[in-house]
Amino acid sequence: MRKLAILFTAALVLSPLAVGQSFTLLDRTVVNVKRTGNELEMSIDGKNYSKRDLNFQLAEMHLHVSSKHRVFVLLDESCRLSDIALVTGMAVRAGFTSISVYVVFAKSGNMAELVYGPVEKISDNPGSRTRDKRNDSADHVN
């Protein structure tokens, strides 16, 4: 999992999307989360933390980093949906504002980013308008 995190971070820095952004390899924290049975294993840089200790460690980090510091949460595919809120909530309470959450599928080698916010329309014809059923009422019929 650590090798995947290093490759992921290198890909972010070297990608064309990261050219205009202001973060570097040193300006980030990667939190790995894995579920074994009913227990969560949370680590930063290979060092395991309990829930209480991770919360304290994130708060302590926030005191010593820049305002542009990013937190990447890498969730193992064994994690539950509630684990997303737990770890991201810790980072928010610690004061971080730039948090990205990814699910890592180690068996297949894939990752998926979880994005919060409004959904954007993706289509083959971006200029076309979609029909809204609310506007197709009887008063619009000629």
Question: Hey, which CATH number is domain 2-14+23-137, 3.40.50, 3.30.420, 3.30.1380, 1.20.1440?
Answer: 3.30.420
What pLDDT is stored for residue 42 in this prediction?
93
What pLDDT is stored for residue 128 in this prediction?
61
Q: Name the phi and psi angles at 81, rounded to 5.
A: -60, -35
H helices within the chain, ranges in order? 2-14, 51-64, 81-94
Instruction: Take residue 105 and report the two structure tokens written for it.
Output: 């599928």
> Which ranges of the chain have pLDDT less than 70?
1-26, 119-142
What pLDDT is stored for residue 24 in this prediction?
53
The reply to whether the predicted model has a pTM over 0.85 is: no
Whether the CB-CB separation of 8 and 111 falls below 8 Å is answered with yes
Torsion of CA 27, 28, 29, 31, to 10 degrees: -170
